[in-house]
């Protein structure tokens, strides 16, 4: 009896080679596409994170500046009330603070780097050109100082512009 041959899908002595190169190429392309996708996601997430952080810092700076301007508006109202009650403006910052009764928080810029406001006594609201009533001495709002003018306006000035406005205010008093 002769040994029985088992059925096989390949011919004797032949090796299966045809699929390996295609399998390797497919795997390289597949994993390459996955790597590109992961890289794109990481890059997009990183840019979004930077944009978010920048927006948060800008928002905080704007909020600080608006809070400072709100303080100056409150001081303007206090000055107006004082002028109506006394027919003149306060002679000193301390007199203004005593009249306001708010404590020292209102008379200080809320920015962490902010300083106390400077009151310029002797200003008159009826002058031809508005003069400086209250200002912050440190430029903490994007390089500018918030200033309360005698006509009630609140403006942001660079230190150079502030100095020019202060000089003009002093010159009008003489």
Instruction: Write the pLDDT tens digit of every residue in 91-147.
Output: 988 888 888 886 667 888 888 888 899 999 876 655 567 889 999 989 988 899 999
Q: What is the pLDDT of residues 3-31, one digit of tens each?
A: 665 555 555 555 555 578 888 888 899 99
Average pLDDT, the chain: 83
Q: Which residue has the higher pLDDT, 74 or 104?
A: 74
Check residue 9 and give its pLDDT: 55
Which residue, among 150, 141, 151, has the nearest Cα to 119 in the 3D structure?
150
Q: What is the pLDDT of residues 21-64, one digit of tens each?
A: 888 888 899 999 999 988 888 887 777 778 888 888 888 888 88
pTM of the predicted protein model: 0.67
Check residue 145 and give its pLDDT: 92
Check residue 40 and give its pLDDT: 86
> What DSSP designation does 102 have?
S
> What's phi and psi for 20, nearest 5 deg?
-65, -40
* SS3 label, residue 15: coil
Could you give the percent of the chain with pLDDT greater than 90?
Answer: 28
75/61 Cα distance (integer angstroms): 21
């Amino acid at each position: 009896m002769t040994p029985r041959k088992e059925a096989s899908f390949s011919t004797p002595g032949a090796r299966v080679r045809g699929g390996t190169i295609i399998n390797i190429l497919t795997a390289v392309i597949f994993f390459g596409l996955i790597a590109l996708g992961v890289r794109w996601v990481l890059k997009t997430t990183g840019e979004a994170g930077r944009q978010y952080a920048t927006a948060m810092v800008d928002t905080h700076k704007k909020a600080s500046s608006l809070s400072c301007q709100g303080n100056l508006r409150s001081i303007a109202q206090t000055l107006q009330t004082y002028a109506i009650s006394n027919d003149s403006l306060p002679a000193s910052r301390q007199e203004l603070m005593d009249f306001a009764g708010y404590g020292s928080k209102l008379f200080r810029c809320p920015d962490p780097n902010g300083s106390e406001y400077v009151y310029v006594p002797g200003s008159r609201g009826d002058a031809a050109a508005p003069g400086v009533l209250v200002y912050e001495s440190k430029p903490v709002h994007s390089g500018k100082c918030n200033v309360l003018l005698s006509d009630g306006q609140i403006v942001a000035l660079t230190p150079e512009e502030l100095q020019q406005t202060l000089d003009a205010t002093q010159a009008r008093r003489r």
